[in-house]
Amino acid sequence: MMEEEELEFVEELEAVLQLTPDVQLAIEQVFPSQDPLDRADFNAVEYINTLFPTEQSLANIDEVVNKIRLKIRRLDDNIRTVVRGQTNVGQDGRQALEEAQKAIQQLFGKIKDIKDKAEKSEQMVKEITRDIKQLDHAKRHLTTSITTLNHLHMLAGGVDSLEAMTRRRQYGEVANLLQGVMNVLEHFHKYMGIPQIRQLSERVKAAQTELGQQILADFEEAFPSQGTKRPGGPSNVLRDACLVANILDPRIKQEIIKKFIKQHLSEYLVLFQENQDVAWLDKIDRRYAWIKRQLVDYEEKYGRMFPREWYMTERIAVEFCHVTRTELAKIMRTRAKEIEVKLLLFAIQRTTNFEGFLAKRFSGCTLTDGTLKKLESPPPSTNPFLEDEPAPEMEELAMEKGDLDQPKKPKAPDNPFHGIVSKCFEPHLYVYIESQDKNLGELIDRFVADFKAQGPPKPNTDEGGAVLPSCADLFVYYKKCMVQCSQLSTGEPMIALTTIFQKYLREYAWKILSGNLPKTTSSSGGLTISSLLKEKEGSEVAKFTLEELCLICSILSTAEYCLATTQQLEEKLKEKVDVSLIERINLTGEMDTFSTVISSSIQLLVQDLDAACDPALTAMSKMQWQNVEHVGDQSPYVTSVILHIKQNVPIIRDNLASTRKYFTQFCIKFANSFIPKFITHLFKCKPISMVGAEQLLLDTHSLKMVLLDLPSIGSQVVRKAPASYTKIVVKGMTRAEMILKVVMAPHEPLVVFVDNYIKLLTDCNTETFQKILDMKGLKRSEQSSMLELLRQRLPTPPSGPEGSSSLSLLAPTPEQESSRIRKLEKLIKKRL
């Protein structure tokens, strides 16, 4: 009975002490223990087996039981002590809470006492400082009153003195006094309601008005509108009057400047009237010489009369420019038929030189008419067209000397006076544009004649294919025209010049480049360049000579140079033209034309080498491969192909050394043309014996090695072939090798043969399979069963574009599954 009661007690205790995992984890963290009795998953059977692992260990069972009972007794004592210690906790807590509440009440009382004392202190301070604030306000008001009275005294005395000095024309004293009176008057703006203050303000305004009228009358007397200028040096009275005008209404100053400049330029309008000979463009230098003399004369006689901040010298020059632009525009409209290109360029050159002279002499701070535009400096660029642009004469001299590669001086800052006079020539620039159109037409004709006279360039095997010198001459002329036109205008004339550039870029591509590409001939007659892309199988194409190959490479290099330079020309034109017209600059069509020339040149080179290899491939397909008895060295047709490759490729490579990427394109296009043609002729070799197939496999491998070495064949410097080219050759020639391996395999048993075909050829289909069967010499009756078996064993194509990938992901093959298991086993072994 005791044992049953103990068991029931244990079960009840276990039910009560069933703790949650979080609680159990917290207990383990607070009371860490290694004793199995403290574990939550304690198992009595395992614990007993640990204590008594063998039958012999049961001999000391009494000792073990006594130890456990002793441990139980100690635990009971500890529990009892803890329980008794907790009986007074509640009472102690209540007592501590009451003590805390009393402490809070005492603290609250002390805070209230401190607050009351602070309020009393603040009130006491206010009572002490009340009298001090009153005295402070009184002091401030008294100071303001004294200051205002002093200002009023100064204002009243200043107004009286100002009126007296004005009547005596003492402008020097008036300039200093007037500024002081106006400064003092600003302090009385808030007192204008007082009649006396308002009266003083009106007297000041009246004095200013009288001063302005009096100064204008003095200048009119000194510089009358009719008659000659007043002789002698500047007047001190007028110099002081200018200082007074600086303080008066700005309109007085503008009126003085306007009348003086108008009187100063009156002689110019008389000397250069429209009906005078010196007014025409051929004597435009005299206009600029006259104003230079006048500026020197002004500096000597009147330089000290006007203040420096008036910039009178610059104002005279700017007004001269405005008058000159108007007069030149008027006379050019009247005599438009007499304007010639040389005369127009002469006038423009002299005018732009004069504008440059003004930019060096003056800052341009008086330009306020909005007719000029200060362009933002363009960002730095590697464009060769962005180099410093010298004057047209200097540039032409540099071209004659061939000194275009010398370092240029840094570009000068933008000219603020650019176009201030030369803007008037813009409506007549059509004469210049028409002249450039005519000159460029003659230049292209001269290029054509020179090419016919000099003949194709000589073979060059040292420095690569030479660029035709005519293209450099063309772009140098383009740059000269662009610089000249941009100095004249950045508007519609630049668009018209761009159209001319486009016209002659196309003509250069057609007449000089495409027109001089060698023509291929066949049994049906001549072929054009466009027909080169449509090669007819079986046509006999003549092989190009060494000179013709070099000519094609030279034209290709020239077209590449023109393509790159045209792109730079477009960027430069967009920088020169107005922002609103940038979208109308587009040379994409011309760049496409040069790209077409490049493609045609590469196609000619590929077709020439491809056609040279055709007889060898034809000989391969006509050999009796079923009669070959033993495998020897490479066949004669392979030697012939290699010979043609070694003859043509080094020449092409050396002449395209400066355009390496296009030589790579040539190699890729030749591989894409030759390999499919080789496989096509390979299928024509039928029937083939086992030994014949082995010989063909040896020949195919030899051709593969030659093609892989094609980019550096015959070169002393061996370079690794481009990866894109190697990939094409390996893929194409490996397919040819796999075809021959299928041909060499026995066709029985049929299932093994078909499976071998599917395994070796990734692009397997019934058409290729039938060609292979024809190469093996099988009869049609034998082929039908093999074709049917192939159709059965070919994998079913996926229904959608992503079907194959999705199926492979969802349902791996057994081989993939076994491979994954092996990888997993290796990983586990590595970890262990």
Q: Domain of 578: which CATH number?
A: 1.10.357.50
Q: How far is CA 182 from CA 174, 247, 746, in A?
A: 12, 9, 119
- Pair (354, 477) in one structural domain: no
pLDDT of residue 401: 37
- Pair (108, 179) in one structural domain: no
What's the half-sphere exposure (Cβ side, CA atoms, 13 Å) at 657?
Answer: 14
pLDDT one-digit tens code per residue, 401-445: 333 333 333 334 467 887 788 888 888 888 888 888 888 999 999
End-to-end CA distance of the chain: 54
In-domain check, residue 374? no
Q: How far is CA 584 from CA 131, 441, 495, 591, in A?
A: 83, 23, 7, 16
Q: How far apart are CA 323 and CA 449, in angstroms?
A: 50
Per-residue pLDDT band at 395 (split at 50, 70, 90):
very low
- How many domains are contained in the chain? 4
- Pair (242, 320) in one structural domain: yes
pLDDT of residue 509: 92
pLDDT of residue 225: 61
Per-residue pLDDT band at 643 (split at 50, 70, 90):
very high
pLDDT one-digit tens code per residue, 453-501: 876 666 554 444 578 888 889 999 888 888 878 877 788 888 888 999 9
CA 796 centroid distance within chain: 49
Q: 79-99: string of b/e by CB count within 10 Å (b at 16+)?
A: eeeeeeeeeeeeeeeeeeeee
- Pair (488, 430) in one structural domain: yes
Q: How far apart are CA 522 and CA 253, in angstroms?
A: 89
In-domain check, residue 288? yes
- Pair (185, 321) in one structural domain: yes
- Pair (336, 201) in one structural domain: yes
- Pair (277, 341) in one structural domain: yes
* 656 DSSP 8-state letter: T
Q: How far apart are CA 738 and CA 749, in angstroms?
A: 19
In-domain check, residue 408? no
- Pair (99, 208) in one structural domain: no
In-domain check, residue 204? yes
- Pair (568, 437) in one structural domain: yes
**Helix, coil or strand: residue 526:** strand
Nearest one of 207, 208, 212 to 242, comparing CA atoms: 212
Residue 380's CB is within 10 A of a number of other CB atoms, namely 7
Nearest one of 622, 760, 616, 781 to 768, comparing CA atoms: 760
Structure tokens at 662: 């296009």
In-domain check, residue 586? yes
What range defines the domain where residue 482 resides? Answer: 422-518+545-599
Residue 198's CB is within 10 A of a number of other CB atoms, namely 13
pLDDT one-digit tens code per residue, 113-163: 999 899 888 888 887 787 787 788 888 888 877 877 776 767 666 677 766
Rg (alpha carbons) of the chain, rounded to whole number: 53
Helix (H) / strand (E) element for 644: namely: helix 636-655
Q: How far apart are CA 417 and CA 415, in angstroms?
A: 5
Percentage with pLDDT > 70 across the chain: 78
Higher pLDDT, 1 or 99: 99
Secondary structure (H, E, C), 257-278:
HHHHHHHHCHHHHHHCCCCCHH
CA 108 centroid distance within chain: 72
The amino acid sitting at 782 is E
Question: How do 525-526 and 521-522 pair as beta strands?
Answer: antiparallel
What is the arithmetic mean of pLDDT over 168-185?
69
Q: Which residues contact 558 (CB under 8 A, 6 or more apart)?
A: 467, 468, 471, 512, 513
Q: Mean pLDDT of all residues in the chain?
A: 77
Q: Are 721 and 711 in contact (CB under 8 A)?
A: yes
pTM for the full predicted model: 0.60
Q: How far apart are CA 444 and CA 30, in angstroms?
A: 99
Write down the residue that tokens 């892309």 correspond to: 533
Structure tokens at 339: 């304007």
Higher pLDDT, 16 or 239: 239
Q: 614-645: string of b/e by CB count within 10 Å (b at 16+)?
A: bebbeebeebebeebeeeeebbebbebbbebb
Q: How far apart are CA 656 and CA 465, in angstroms?
A: 5
- Pair (193, 315) in one structural domain: yes
The amino acid sitting at 589 is G
Write down the residue that tokens 């049953």 correspond to: 4
pLDDT one-digit tens code per residue, 665-694: 999 999 999 999 999 999 888 888 888 889
- Pair (313, 461) in one structural domain: no
Higher pLDDT, 520 or 662: 662
- Pair (250, 345) in one structural domain: yes
Residue 556's CB is within 10 A of a number of other CB atoms, namely 30
Nearest one of 443, 444, 478, 471 to 457, comparing CA atoms: 471
Q: Are 429 and 493 in contact (CB under 8 A)?
A: yes
In-domain check, residue 206? yes
The length of the chain in residues reads: 832
In-domain check, residue 493? yes
pLDDT of residue 666: 92
pLDDT of residue 457: 64
Write down the residue that tokens 């703006």 correspond to: 189
Q: How far apart are CA 494 and CA 433, in angstroms?
A: 9
In-domain check, residue 428? yes
Q: How far apart are CA 342 and CA 333, in angstroms?
A: 18
- For 168, list phi and psi in degrees, rounded to 5: -90, 0
